[in-house]
Structures are given as structure tokens and as C-alpha cells.
Amino acid sequence: MTNLKKLSLATLGLIIVAVIYSMTSGSAKLVSRAKSQVNTELTMLQTQGFAIQNRETGEKNEHFIISFDDPEKIAAYFTQHGAQLSVEDAKVFKGLQIGVDLHYLADTYSGISFDLYPVTLPKSITSSATTPEDKDILKQIEQMLEKKTFLIHCDINKLGTGFKGYMKDIDEVLKSDTTVKMVLSKLKFSGDIKDDKVQSIEQTLQSIHIDTDDTFNVTVTGVKSNYRITGATLYDYKTDYSIEKITMQEKDTMMFVADHFEARSDSTVKNSLANTTLKTKVKSIVFNNKDNKVILDTLLLDMKADNLNMEALEALGKMDEGNEKAINETFQKLISKGIQLEIPEFSVASIENLGQKMGGFHLNTQLHINKSLNIEALQQNPLLALNAFNINLDLILSKELYALIRQQPKAVIVMMLFHPKDVKGKKVYNVELKDGSLNVNGSPVM
């Protein structure tokens, strides 16, 4: 379902690009120009691994089907337009068909409106349905497709500078040995277009709920996201993401609840090298099982990555997994400028375990991969990584958490071998790997 949605939204983006046009006087002329642009774009799509089938045209409406036929071309095309899709993923969706119902000048806002909906499942799904149970499930899904259950609607304004839309609410049940109920409510999106490119997308989702035989269920509520292009490449962007609550429950066994998740990410590219940051925060996480209840208060995770060679990363996504020589060469290019990874903060403010409240922990670490690392030689001798990797890690534990960890059998030996420093009532570890030497709190280990 996630991948179907991903492909549908990516297709939406391509069609948006196809129908950008300037406002002119007279609706007949406007419709004529829009139709001409759509014709041009559909013709081009047929050279990029897609097929256009069953096309029907009217005065102010059209219908056609987009078929996913050539995975390699399709993967390259989606990647070029900002929807990362590997060749292997594209192969999974070979045979998928998306129906498009298109309308010109549907209302005062819209220059063009369209509905997108899957009409045929990928061959990878239909061919794998071999048992009677699988075939029954497949039949139920195909009945949903006939009802246009997974429909996305989009309107593009008359100036071609913005769009808005939604996914149709879903309330469906799949019945087999187990009964699965899925409810999706109020998924909406909007965005801006500039120079024939989508510049920003905002999405909101009221809730999604999946329930299996009333024994296991997942509920996600209050989802918001904002994506903005900030530069010349697909990797110059800023994103904001938030979820009010995530709940997972297995009847009489366990419950997991995360409250108020937030994430912010930005990326900039210079000379084909990307620098990326990610900041996340969760107000609280509660885990219940039959024997215990654990509460984590204020979880923070910040990450940074510098000198990521985006050309190499893109190439890796397109490569045949069996082409070891090409993969090694591309990995060598990936680290050619040296990669720096950092976790400035991974922390939990406080923890409650078995009714006992205690302070949490704070971790930060830096990793530098030297550009001199030889990938082929590393495969022959993994110990070469010791000289090519520089790592510095600081871990601060509350004394209560340290005492709890010491009670765990698997941790006893490690705690006996490596003693922490006492700093302001907390237990502190510093781990450093540099020039092939490993030290813990200043004492050599190797």
C-alpha cells in the first residue's frame, strides 16, 4: 500500500509538470493549450518505460491508463524527477496500471483536475497468489480497485503555480484466516509550482488505523509534513514532519505508545557533495507488557552527515546487485572526499522502570571515514578499517540507570572490564578509535 501511494504521488508530480501553462483569455483557447501540453507529455512518457492505454478524449475531459512496463527506464525517470526509486523496486511494480480521469476548467480554481487510481496490480503480486487463501485475498483487493478505493484527486490552479488535493477516505475489510480492517481519514495535500517544478508540498493526515482480528492494531493520528526545495538540485531541501500519536497494541500482550513525534531535516549540495542534518524529538514513549511498564521522557536524536557524494549514491541505487566490481568502484567514489557522520545528541531525559523513576542518558559521537580507505583491500582484510575510521564517543549515564544496566547478565562482563568516570554524580565513558588504537576513558584497549 505504501509503495502504491508513493508511485501514485510521483505520477501526480509528473502530470503536474506536464500541464503547466499560462493563463490566457478565453476558456476554449486555454483548454486547447492544456490538451496540447498533455499530449506532448504523454508522448514523452512512452519513451520512458510507460505505456498509455485506452485513451478517450472529450471536449473538457479525458481518460487514459498509465502502465508501468520498463523498470530500468522508469527508475531513472522517477529519480530524475525527485522520487527515489531503485531498479529493484521498479521491477516489483512492473505491470501496475494507474487510471487517470482528467478534467479541464472544472471550477473557478482549477485549470486542470484529475483522479489517479490503481486499476491493475503489479505482476509480482498477482503471480505470487498461488494458494486458495491468497487468491481469495487477491480477489477482494481487485474488487476494491474496481470501486476506486485507493483514489487520489488533485487540482492545479489556472496559473499553473499551485495545486491541492486529497486521497479518498478508506474504510475496508480483508477477510481470510484473519480479518484485517483498514481505515484512513482525511489525507490532504497542497503545494507550489515554479518554473515547471514542484517547489513545496504540505500534507496532513487525520488518522490511519489497521486492526487484525481485534488482537493486534496500529493507529497513527495527527500527521503533518512540509517539504520545500531550497536549491538547484533534488537534494537541496528542508522538511518538517510531526505525528501526534502512534499506538501499537497486541491484545493481552503489549502496548507501545509514542506521543508528539517531531522531525526536521535539511540538506544542501555544493560541488555534488551533500551536507545533511536531522533533528528528532519524541515527548514520551510508553511500553507496556505483561510484567512491566517502561516510560521514556523526552527522547532527542540529532544527526549530521557531510561530504556525501550524491552522484555515487544515485549510481548505487541503479546498479545490479551482482556487479561487485562496479559497486566497489562506486563506493570508492562515495568516500573519495572523506565522509563525516555525527550524532551530536541521542538522549532520554528520564526513565521509569518497574515504577522506579531515574535519570536518563546522553550520547554523542563523531565518525570520520578517511578518503584513503581502499574498498577492495578492505574486503580482503577488514582490519584495515581500524586505520581508516576515526571515532569519538561520549556516553553519560545517570547513576540509577548505570546500576540497572549492571544487573543485566550480558552487561556484567563489559562493566567489569571498563570502569566509568564519576563526573557530577553521573557515570561517564569516552571511547576513541584513532590511527588504529582504541581507548576507553584514556586507557588503551588495543
pLDDT (average), residues 11-20: 37
Least confident of 86-100, 169-183, 255-269: 86-100
d(CA 254, CA 6): 31
Q: Give the CA-trace dihedral at 370, 372, 375, 376, to 10 degrees.
A: -160
pLDDT at 14: 40
State residue 83's pLDDT score: 64
Q: Considering only residues 413 and 126, tell me which one the structure prediction assigns the higher pLDDT.
A: 126
Comparing 85 with 115, the larger pLDDT belongs to 115
What does the domain layout of the chain look like in residue ranges?
Answer: 2-161+272-283+294-444
Does residue 377 register a pLDDT over 90? no
pLDDT at 198 over 50: yes
Q: Which residues contact 93 (CB under 8 A, 6 or more apart)?
A: 3, 7, 68, 71, 74, 122, 124
Q: Give the 3-state secondary structure of residue 287.
A: strand
pLDDT at 289 over 80: yes
Higher pLDDT, 41 or 140: 140
Confidence grade of residue 284 (pLDDT, cut at 50, 70, 90): very high
What pLDDT shows up at residue 300?
Answer: 98
DSSP letter, residue 402: H
Cα 182 to Cα 129, 169, 254, distances in angstroms:
21, 10, 21
pLDDT for 92: 85
pLDDT per position as a tens digit, 303-346: 999 998 888 887 776 677 778 888 888 888 888 888 899 999 99
Question: Cα–Cα distance between 209 and 92 in angstroms, integer?
Answer: 26
Structure confidence at residue 218 (pLDDT) = 95
Determine the distance from the C-alpha atom of residue 327 to the mean position of all C-alpha atoms in its chain, rounded to a whole number.
23
pLDDT above 70 (res 90): yes
pLDDT band, very low/low/confident/very high, at 232 (cuts 50, 70, 90)? confident
Phi, psi of 88 (to 5 degrees): -65, -40
